[in-house]
Amino acid sequence: MITSAIYGAIAAFLGLFPAAFLLALFWKFPIPLFGMGSGLEASFATPMAIVFYGIFGGFVLVPGLGAAFGVIAFLITRREAARYKPLSIFLGLLCAVASCVFLITLEKFIGPW
């Protein structure tokens, strides 16, 4: 169970960077001290944005959610290693994408940054 949690946490953490890059490239992404950015220029600023948001709690919350989903994957697959590892990684990556989408849509709930 611990290994599935670790797989989910690592996938969620490492998935933040490409998820933010792709969302900024094709949609938009909030860049600190800049605002909402989109396109190639904003995509290259996303690693700095992820580090900024990570310092304020994202580096604890997102891997924690990935670990929780890794444990759920472990329980769903009934402890079969061949099945829980890919599912843990998939759910961790899904957690990273959902976290980035939440950052994008947070403006709708709290107002403009």
81 versus 98: the higher-pLDDT residue is 98
pLDDT band (50, 70, 90) for residue 16 = very high
Alpha helix segments (H runs only) across 27-58: 40-43, 46-53
Delimit the domains of the chain by residue range: 2-110
What does the DSSP 8-state code read for residue 112?
A: -
What is the rounded average pLDDT of the residues 64-76? 96
Burial class for 76, CB neighbours closer than 10 Å (0-12, 13-18, 19+)? middle
